[in-house]
Chains A and B, each alone.
Chain A
């Protein structure tokens, strides 16, 4: 079941209650009144200040089963509020949400681009699932599919989050390496046992 923005607003308000042990938290807090009145089924999130690009000139290709430490593959950029990042046609950059999101065990979410951006060629987040128990800023995969450069600014609304109710709430929740980060993260591609055996 997808939660309406109004229901999300109610969940966010629970975070202020003393007896709520596992609330939905989004900081900076979206405008709860606007959420209630929007009639939407998602909430907008904003672009943060950190960006990560791949050091294309330093590698022939990405090798997924021969992991290099992230810092050798990527370059980090910081764009302060009021400044712009120019994403050129076919350019790819990892961004991050301004908001720090904490999902309770009974909620999952999907990050989706906004249509107003998509129609201008900016595609956001191709790996969209956010698991219950996630805490941190969401890494956004951004690509300019259009023909002209696009300027993006920290603080602008960049994507939307759809929330889903999760039936079972057992376990700790998200155990991913992306937990608790404020900057975009490349992460590691893990080869599972089956893939390793197949390759032998």
Chain B
């Protein structure tokens, strides 16, 4: 059996499966076009493998097969994601309004119908909402997945704001923009903590050490810089989500992430840092933080005991460096949201919608998505809401979700009517 034969077989099966997925019922055009694009991409990979000459160098064939295999590994979960985007458990009413919000944010000044981005809302069999970034087969697509059991829950849609934050990070190449500031912050922390540094590393800081240029030292602390940037991206995404959706982002965040699991990821800020960052950003964006919000989280669970002493040190450096960058991240999020014309939430508008919800009715003439979610969360957080309507109160959570989704559909209907005029 030739090496490429098994790859051709597996790739052919994957392409055929994607063709079959194309026979699904598509509730909106983006999943269908994504499937077509994905199929075309994989067919091109297949064609490249098939066109390997009989006389081709063995290592060249092996390399081509490796690339093909990597593509299969990368895109099989995407095919599943696209299939799940057609499932009627998804909150389809949200797709177009959320797409317009994303287009306004990522392509400001452009009419949504001319936007290059395409939004896919789907579900994950995972409790961590996930965004697939930089997919060569699907350029311009923003993929947002909510945990499958929650994909019909509109109150969690504000978490998509975090995922949009990652898209903003990529779009404005903030990694490059912040690289120097990140290095500065890490070096600043390392110099301040030179005693700890000298304790854990073989190459010590001397009076003439240039931490930035010495390849020996760079090799020792580079991981801290990478983690700082990753953490900065996560924090920035939090700030974008918070700014776009107001306090409903905070409630949705707590709903899905509190009280928190044990263990600590290097690429995420600690829960404590995320919370304090959100609180600072909330103050900057004039967003009211729910009372005793921090108490919802068990910040002390994030044990780093499994990490080596060196890794623990580097992670603590990354944490401190991220703290230094935080004010800049908050301001950058504020600037980029302000530069777009995304409609932000207002207390007055949220209260107006809440008054309508009291009557178990959607509100008309809403200005933006955020107000609808904020009003929804105020209902969700008030156990006495609808108490005077026992039948409604009995099915409070279910009816609230239906009402919020209907309100979003009404928002969409009104937008379409205005556009038609």
Contact = CB atoms under 8 A, between A and B. Distances in A.
Interface of A: 15, 23, 25, 27-29, 49, 76-81, 98, 100, 102, 135-137, 155, 172, 174-175, 179-183
A78 B27 contact: yes
A179 B402 CA distance: 10
Contacts of A181: 402
Given A77-B25, A80-B28, A81-B416, A182 B406 contact: yes
B395 A180 contact: yes
A23 B364 CA distance: 15
Nearest to A29: B364
B403 A180 contact: yes
B377 interface: no
A172 to B, nearest CB: 6
B391 A175 contact: yes
A77 B27 CA distance: 8
Contact of B410 (A49, A79, A100): A100
A72 to B, nearest CB: 15
Nearest to A51: B88
Contact of B390 (A49, A76, A172, A180): A172
A180 B413 contact: no
Given A76-B88, A78-B88, A23 B359 contact: yes
A155 B409 CA distance: 12
Interface string B379-421: 0000000000111100100110011011001101110100000
Contacts of A27: 361-364, 406, 410
Listed residue (B360, B363, B389) with the most chain A CB atoms within 10 angstroms of its CB = B360
Listed residue (A155, A180, A182) with the most chain B CB atoms within 10 angstroms of its CB = A180
Given A77-B88, A179-B399, A102 B360 contact: yes
Interface residues of B, number: 28
Listed residue (B92, B389, B391) with the most chain A CB atoms within 10 angstroms of its CB = B391
Given A27-B361, A78-B92, A137 B414 contact: no
A135 B395 CA distance: 13
Contacts of B392: 135, 179-180
Contact of A135 (B25, B361, B414): B361
A23 B358 CA distance: 12
Given A49-B409, A172-B391, A180-B392, 15 more contacts: A15-B361, A23-B359, A27-B406, A78-B27, A78-B92, A79-B27, A80-B27, A80-B28, A81-B412, A81-B413, A100-B362, A100-B403, A102-B361, A180-B403, A182-B406
Nearest to B413: A28
A25 B359 contact: yes
Contacts of B88: 76-78
Listed residue (A28, A29, A79) with the most chain B CB atoms within 10 angstroms of its CB = A28
A32 to B, nearest CB: 12
A158 to B, nearest CB: 15
A182 B406 CA distance: 6
9 contacts: A27-B362, A28-B413, A79-B27, A80-B28, A81-B416, A100-B361, A174-B391, A180-B395, A180-B402
Given A78-B27, A100-B406, A172-B389, A180 B399 contact: yes
Contacts of A179: 391-392, 395, 399
A155 B93 CA distance: 14
A18 B398 CA distance: 27
A77 B26 CA distance: 10
A80 B395 CA distance: 27
Nearest to B28: A80
Contacts of B364: 27-29
A183 B412 CA distance: 17
Contacts of B399: 179-180
B92 A80 contact: yes
Contacts of B403: 100, 180, 182
Listed residue (B389, B402, B414) with the most chain A CB atoms within 10 angstroms of its CB = B402
A175 to B, nearest CB: 5
A77 B389 CA distance: 31
A180 B28 contact: no
B279 to A, nearest CB: 35
B414 to A, nearest CB: 7
Contacts of A15: 359, 361
A136 B364 CA distance: 15
Nearest to B405: A182
A49 B413 CA distance: 12
A44 to B, nearest CB: 15
A28 B389 contact: no
Nearest to A16: B364
B60 to A, nearest CB: 47
Nearest to A21: B359
Nearest to A78: B27
A25 B358 CA distance: 12
Contacts of A77: 25, 88
A155 B359 CA distance: 24
A100 B404 CA distance: 12
Contacts of B412: 81
A100 B402 CA distance: 10
A77 B360 CA distance: 25
A95 B210 CA distance: 71
A135 B399 CA distance: 10
A29 B363 CA distance: 10
A98 to B, nearest CB: 7
Listed residue (B361, B395, B410, B416) with the most chain A CB atoms within 10 angstroms of its CB = B361
A127 B92 CA distance: 28
Sort A-B residue pairs by CB-CB distance and give the 9 closest, nearest first.
Answer: A180-B399, A135-B360, A76-B88, A78-B27, A25-B361, A182-B406, A182-B402, A175-B391, A102-B361
